Amino acid sequence: MKIIQQYKLRTMAVSKYLAVDLGAESGRVIVGILENERISVEEIHRFPNQQIHKDNSSYWDVPFLFKEIKKGMSEVVKKGHGDIESMGLDTWGVDFGLIGKSGELLEMPHSYRDNRTNGIPEKVFKIISSDEIYRRTGIQIMQINSLYQLYSVKLEMESLLNECNKLLFIPDLFNYFLTGETKCEYTIASTSQMLNAGIKTFDESIFSKLELPIKIMAPVISPGTVVGKLRPEISHETMLESIDIIAVGCHDTASAVAAVPANGDDWAFLSSGTWSLLGIEINEPIIEPSLKNNFTNEGGVNNKIRFISVTTGLWFLQGIKKSWERNGEQYSYDELMQMAEPAEEFICNIKPDDSAFINPSDMVGAIMDYCVRTNQEFPKTKGELVRSILESLALRYKAILDKIEKVSGRKINKLHVVGGGSQNELLNQLTADATGKEVVAGPVEATALGNIIVQAIARGEIESLEKAREIISLSFTRKFYIPENHKKWKEIDNRFNNIIR
Helix or strand run (H / E) with residue 418? strand 414-418
Q: Give dist(CA 37, CA 474) in Å, integer.
A: 9
Q: Give dist(CA 126, CA 235) in Å, integer.
A: 49
| Full 3-state SS string of 71-104 | HHHHHHHHCCCCCEEEEEEEECCCCEEEEECCCC
Tell me the one-letter amino acid at 186. Answer: Y
Residue 130 and residue 295 in contact, taking contact as beta carbons nearer than 8 Å: no
Residue 149 and residue 116 in contact, taking contact as beta carbons nearer than 8 Å: yes
The angle at the Cα of 244, spanning 222 to 79, to the nearest 5 degrees, equals 125
Helix or strand run (H / E) with residue 59? strand 57-60
The angle at the Cα of 259, spanning 395 to 20, to the nearest 5 degrees, equals 105
Q: How many DSSP H helices and E strands does the chain contain? A: 18, 19
> 238 to each of 20, 41, 143, 174, 176, how far by Cα in Å?
15, 21, 39, 15, 17
Q: Give dist(CA 200, CA 196) in Å, integer.
A: 5
Give the residue among 191, 205, 183, 209 at the shortest CA–CA distance from 127: 209
- Catalytic residue list contains 172: no
Residue 202 and residue 212 in contact, taking contact as beta carbons nearer than 8 Å: no
Active-site position among 252, 334, 402, 493: 252
Catalytically active residues, by annotation: 252
